[in-house]
Chains A and B, each alone.
Chain A
């Protein structure tokens, strides 16, 4: 179907060295897009790129915590051809009760998850960096909607992304850039595995219990991201789409 086709589009995927980002790179490439795969781990990025259909795709290692350098980095990436989209899948989750709150923790999570998104938006809207029609998808989390002990700063960073998607959607209208978000529940990735390891079996069973359709696959999120990036979503702007197997419906 033409509206889901991404042939001829160039899309930057952050977090492409693992989990949801890696699956997103695969789905987008499968729909015809040329993927620029970002992460920090060169080896795992190369593995992502090597497994993609079509191409030529490229690996673009860069630490997104270098927030102020992001716009210039994007300009460099788009030097040969403008971007048609960004799927911002990079992010970190660190569990911490508020009794251990400090600025270092706040900065780490907020910068990796939220400031990175805003700097990417700043970079993308520069002249020559985005194509005439362009879309950005941010990866939030159901953690923005559901109160979870010890996940407060993470939840706040993801709620920030949801608000940012709305604000950016309005501000970047004049640039032809749509901005939406997805909010996944628990998805089978390294991040989820790290969370599982810090829980007892009983606690993890309780978490699974709150997922009426079981936990998600990275591809489940990737398909939603691909839809929001493509023409099929050309009249969808500023929304956050839960991708949660019914988690929020309970």
Chain B
């Protein structure tokens, strides 16, 4: 999946206007990044990328880019 398309899915997940997220955002600055968003992120990667991100590494992510890094080469530039 393309990084860009995944960011658009994350926009939708966080109820942001399409095209909002770039990757540089700090998660703490995103009002809609809450515990349910975390669970929804796990469901999203499971559904779209067929991978289960473990909760402990998710808890360590500080930026949107950190989240994308967890997906490794499943995201194409």
Chain A interface residues toward B at CB < 8 A: 94-97, 99-100, 149-150, 194, 196-204
- B40: chain A residues at CB < 8 Å are 96-97, 99-100, 150
Question: Are B15 and A198 neighbours in the complex by a CB distance under 8 Å?
Answer: no
28 contacts between A and B (CB under 8 A): A94-B43, A95-B39, A95-B43, A96-B43, A97-B37, A97-B39, A97-B40, A99-B15, A99-B40, A100-B44, A149-B35, A149-B36, A149-B39, A150-B39, A197-B52, A197-B54, A198-B39, A198-B42, A198-B52, A198-B54, A200-B55, A200-B56, A200-B59, A201-B55, A201-B59, A203-B35, A203-B55, A204-B55
- B55: chain A residues at CB < 8 Å are 196-201, 203-204
Q: Which residue of B lies closest to A94 (CB)?
A: B43
Q: How far is the CA of A14 from the CA of B58 in the complex (A)?
A: 34
Question: Are A194 and B43 neighbours in the complex by a CB distance under 8 Å?
Answer: no
Q: How far is the CA of A201 from the CA of B40 in the complex (A)?
A: 18
Question: Are A99 and B56 neighbours in the complex by a CB distance under 8 Å?
Answer: no
B30 at the interface (CB under 8 A from A): no
Total A-B pairs, Cβ < 8 A: 49
B13 at the interface (CB under 8 A from A): yes
Q: How far is the CA of A200 from the CA of B42 in the complex (A)?
A: 12
- Given A97-B36, A196-B55, 14 more pairs with CB closer than 8 A: A96-B39, A96-B43, A97-B40, A99-B15, A100-B13, A149-B39, A150-B40, A197-B54, A198-B53, A198-B54, A198-B55, A200-B58, A200-B59, A204-B55
Contact with A along B34-52 (1 / 0, CB 8 A): 0111011011100000001
- A197: chain B residues at CB < 8 Å are 52, 54-55
- A99: chain B residues at CB < 8 Å are 13, 15, 36, 40
Within 8 A of A (CB), among B9-51: 13, 15, 35-37, 39-40, 42-44
Q: How far is the CA of A198 from the CA of B46 in the complex (A)?
A: 11
User: In whole Å, how far is B37's beta carbon from the nearest beta carbon of chain A?
Assistant: 8
User: In whole Å, how far is A155's beta carbon from the nearest beta carbon of chain B?
Assistant: 14
User: In whole Å, how far is A203's beta carbon from the nearest beta carbon of chain B?
Assistant: 7
Given known pairs A94-B43, A194-B52, the reply for A150 and B36 (CB within 8 Å) is yes
Q: How far is the CA of A95 from the CA of B53 in the complex (A)?
A: 13
Q: How far is the CA of A15 from the CA of B15 in the complex (A)?
A: 38
- A100: chain B residues at CB < 8 Å are 13, 40, 43-44
Q: How far is the CA of A198 from the CA of B36 in the complex (A)?
A: 12
Contact with A along B50-77 (1 / 0, CB 8 A): 0011111011000000000000000000
Partner of A201, one of B42, B52, B56: B56
- B15: chain A residues at CB < 8 Å are 99
User: In whole Å, how far is B18's beta carbon from the nearest beta carbon of chain A?
Assistant: 16
User: In whole Å, how far is A108's beta carbon from the nearest beta carbon of chain B?
Assistant: 11
Q: How far is the CA of A194 from the CA of B55 in the complex (A)?
A: 10
- A96: chain B residues at CB < 8 Å are 39-40, 43
- A201: chain B residues at CB < 8 Å are 55-56, 59
Q: How far is the CA of A21 from the CA of B76 in the complex (A)?
A: 41
